[in-house]
Structure formats: C-alpha cells, structure tokens
Amino acid sequence: MKKTKKIGIIGGMGPFASANFLQSLLKEISIQGINMPEIILDSVAIKDFISDEKEVKPALILLKDRVNQLDNLNVDLIVMTCNTAHILHPQLSKNSRALFPSLIDLVEKEVGKSNLNRIGLLATPTTIKANLYSNKILPSKKLQKILEKLIKKAIISPVSLHEDEQLILEVQKFINKSSLDGLILGCTELSLIFPDPKIFKVPVFNSLIVLTNSVINFLNVKI
C-alpha cells in the first residue's frame, strides 16, 4: 500500500499568493494523475516583518513554532510561499525534521540550468537588499518603487488591470534597456500580477511555478 505523503505549506505572507500556489499545485497534481497528498496550509497571520525590522525577531519565533507544529503532524515536506521570508529560512530549516527546501535555491538552480547570462530580478526591496538572489541585474529605483507599491497591494487585494498594464510597460523597458536574457519573478505576488509570462519576450523564472514543480517532483518520488 502506497504511503500518502504529507505536505506542509507556510503561507499568509500574503494569503492570495499562498492560495494561488495551492491552486497551482492541485491543478498540476490533477493533470499528472498523482495520488492526492495530505496538504496542510498554514496561512500565518503575521505582522509585516518584511519592511519593519523590529518585527523580524517576533516573526522568527512565530514561524519556528509553526515549523514545529508541522513537524508534529509528521509532514514529509515543508515549503514557504514567500521569497522575502527566506531571510529566515536558514534558522527555520535547521529546526525542521521534514525536508524544507529553499525557494531561493530552487529558483537559482533553474536559472543555472538555462545557461543564460543577463538575468534581471523583480522582487521586494527587502529581497534585493538582503541579496537573496545574487549576481542579478536590478531594476531602477523607479521600477523598484512601483513594484513595492503593487506587491504590498497584491498582498491584501487584487491589482487592477490598469496598474498591471503600467507595470508591464516599465518591466519591458527594464528588459530592453538592460539587454536581459531572462527575468526572475522573485516575489510570489508577482504571479498574481503577471499571470501570463509570455507577455515578455525573454524566459521568465516564476518562483511560484518553480516551487510548484519542485513539490510535484517530490510527490513523484516513491517512498
């Protein structure tokens, strides 16, 4: 008898992206005909530690507790659906009995497979400042501010089509001006803002899709 695998998802930072990840994962499970795992989505209600450094320590304590709770539920795999929150991943993963891959590492691995050289990064200012993705071409300060504003909005509500179109134009300018070979969507909220990566003329590494594929690969491994 096959063992039913258990997946623990730490989300809520923000909740719309976490729900989008779960929907993406369930859709791919259905398409591939994989045995449905037990999925535990912990949408954590947490203060904004991404832009407020005073909240980092309380967030670490809370998230460590959530990792422990998932371990006590005997999950086989834990994933965290927020790029910027991975500033805490080293501390969180070392306390986990379950496999707990880094989303940043997964994306970097995909980029490495591509053999592309000039890779642009779209992410929160904190992700950029923390250098979670190293050796990437960064957007202008103007584009960073636009991204920050829309990402913050997408955490709590949908982004309007008009705002979406403005951002697409600015990103296309970034691609052209920097002669980019590829682009990283280094924030899971960007999967909500850019639902179709084909709008850009370069390969796009969507961190949410990369995470989905990683979980699918795990589910396909027999245990």
Q: Residue 223 pLDDT > 70, yes or no? A: no
**What fold is seen in the domain 6-102+210-220?**
Rossmann fold (3.40.50)
Q: What's the whole-number mean pLDDT along residues 13-23?
A: 92
Give residue-wise pLDDT tens across range 118-167.
999 999 888 999 999 999 999 999 999 999 988 888 888 877 655 677 88
Identify the residue with better confidence: 1 or 44: 44
pTM: 0.93
Are 6-102+210-220 and 105-207 in the same CATH fold?
A: yes
DSSP state of 208: H
What pLDDT score does 165 carry?
79
User: Hey, which CATH number is domain 105-207, 3.40.1360.10, 3.40.50.1860, 3.40.50.20, 3.40.50.2300?
Assistant: 3.40.50.1860
Distances (CA, A) of 134 to 73, 107, 140, 196, 203: 35, 12, 17, 25, 18
Alpha carbon dihedral 69, 74, 75, 79, in 10-degree steps, equals 30
Q: What is the mean pLDDT of residues 189-213?
A: 91
Structure tokens belonging to residue 193: 């803002």
Phi first, then psi: what are they for 139, rounded to 5°? -70, 165
Q: How many CB atoms lie within 10 A of CB 153?
A: 16
Domain ranges of the chain: 6-102+210-220, 105-207
The H-assigned helical ranges of the chain are 15-32, 56-72, 89-93, 103-114, 125-129, 141-156, 161-178, 190-193, 207-220
Lowest mean pLDDT among 10-24, 90-104, 153-167: 153-167
